[in-house]
Amino acid sequence: MRADDPRADAARMVDDLLELYAIHALPADEATAFERALGLLDESSRRQAVADIRSTRDAVARWAAEHAENPDPRLRDRVLSTVDRDDATRPTGDGAVVTDELAARRARRRRVAVAVSSAAAALLLVVGGVVIGRSTLSTPADQPSVAQSDQLTALQSVMARSDVEVHRTEMTGMPGTVVVASSRSADKAVVVLDGAQQPPSERVYQLWLIGNSHAPKSAGLVSSVSAQSPVVVTGLTDSRTIGMTVEPDGGSPQPTGAVVAAVTL
């Protein structure tokens, strides 16, 4: 390793400043330099650094929970009405709110954006571990369905069922949580990964339906660890568990890799 190797310099800087960056302890210029250094790292070092930033933030978030405090209850209405007013105003990049003079012309596009926000908020609730068994999450008829992926629509339909159950389990041997929202009456489950890393290269996460009366059935591949890409699993009858393994790219007909999660339905 040469002393003037820019990648080695970047690695040293990331190692030196990672925790300070994670809690916003760096002055602006050093934070910018840190981000530039992060971009210079090789793929696997960068992934590790991002995971470390994430788990540092998770750690201080748990500490911060110790200081939870109720705000003025009237704030709730103000927050929700701010969100409603967001229909007529758009934020600028720095967070200031400016009046949108083209509000009328853009109204349709914004309705689409709101529909996306709605599904995303529903997803955050699932991932956030908030069990919601109410019917209010069904897709309203006047919202354009084109705004949502089929998966998000399926998620909303599962969440709207009265028998919806949400299960979470930590992944074994790696960071991340598998969250499963399932409904027997809908015969459907929606699987989301929270805080998970990409699988190793040329590997993929594969889901399995497991039951006493049948061999494990493939329930699909997790195409992306993004929480925005839930996997919809149908045909739950006869199965009690959804399992996840790490398989070679493309998946396997039967599980061959390590089981990283098993969620009992």
Hey, which residues between 236 and 265 contact another protein (CB under 8 A)?
none
Residue pair 251/221 in contact (Cβ under 8 Å)? The answer is: yes
Interface positions, 126-145, toward another protein (CB under 8 A):
127-130, 132, 134, 136-140, 143
Give how many residues touch another protein by CB under 8 A.
82
From 39, 93, 95, 250, residue interacting with another protein (rule: CB under 8 A) = 95
CA–CA dist 50, 31 (Å, integer) = 14
Structure tokens at 247: 């398989």
Per rule CB under 8 A, is residue 22 in the interface with another protein? yes
Q: Which of 8, 35, 44, 79 binds another protein (CB under 8 A)?
A: 79
41 forms part of the interface with another protein (CB under 8 A): no
Nearer to another protein, 20 or 33 (CB): 20
- Within 8 A by CB and 6+ apart from 68, the residues are none
CB 248 within 8 A of CB 204: yes
* Residue 70 in the binding site for another protein (CB under 8 A): yes
- HSE-CB for 131 with a 13 A CA cutoff: 11
Query: Where are the extended beta strands (E) located within the chain?
Result: 89-91, 97-99, 165-170, 177-183, 188-194, 203-211, 214-222, 231-234, 241-248, 259-264
Nearer to another protein, 20 or 259 (CB): 20
Q: Considering only residues 33, 48, 86, 165, which one is a binding residue for another protein as defined by CB under 8 A?
A: 86
Question: Is residue 150 a contact point for another protein (CB under 8 A)?
Answer: no
Interface residue with another protein among 37, 154, 193, 207 (CB under 8 A) is 193
Candidates 23-31, 35-43, 100-108, 245-253; binding stretch for another protein (CB under 8 A): 23-31
Closest to another protein by CB, 11 vs 127, is: 127
Stretch that binds another protein, among 22-30, 181-189, 231-239, 242-250 (CB under 8 A): 22-30
Q: Are 17 and 26 a contacting pair, CB within 8 Å?
A: yes
Q: Which of 50, 112, 174, 259 binds another protein (CB under 8 A)?
A: 50
How far apart are alpha carbons 241 and 212 in whole angstroms?
10
Of 45, 48, 169, 197, the one binding another protein by CB under 8 A: 197
Among 4, 43, 69, 101, indicate the residue that binds another protein (CB under 8 A): 69
Q: Which residue has the tokens 């399992």?
A: 243
Residues found in the chain: 265
Shortest approach of another protein to residue 235 CB, angstroms? 26
Token pair listed for 163: 């028998």
Determine if 60 is a binding residue for another protein (CB under 8 A). Answer: yes
- Beta strands across the sheet bearing 177-183: 165-170, 177-183, 188-194, 231-234
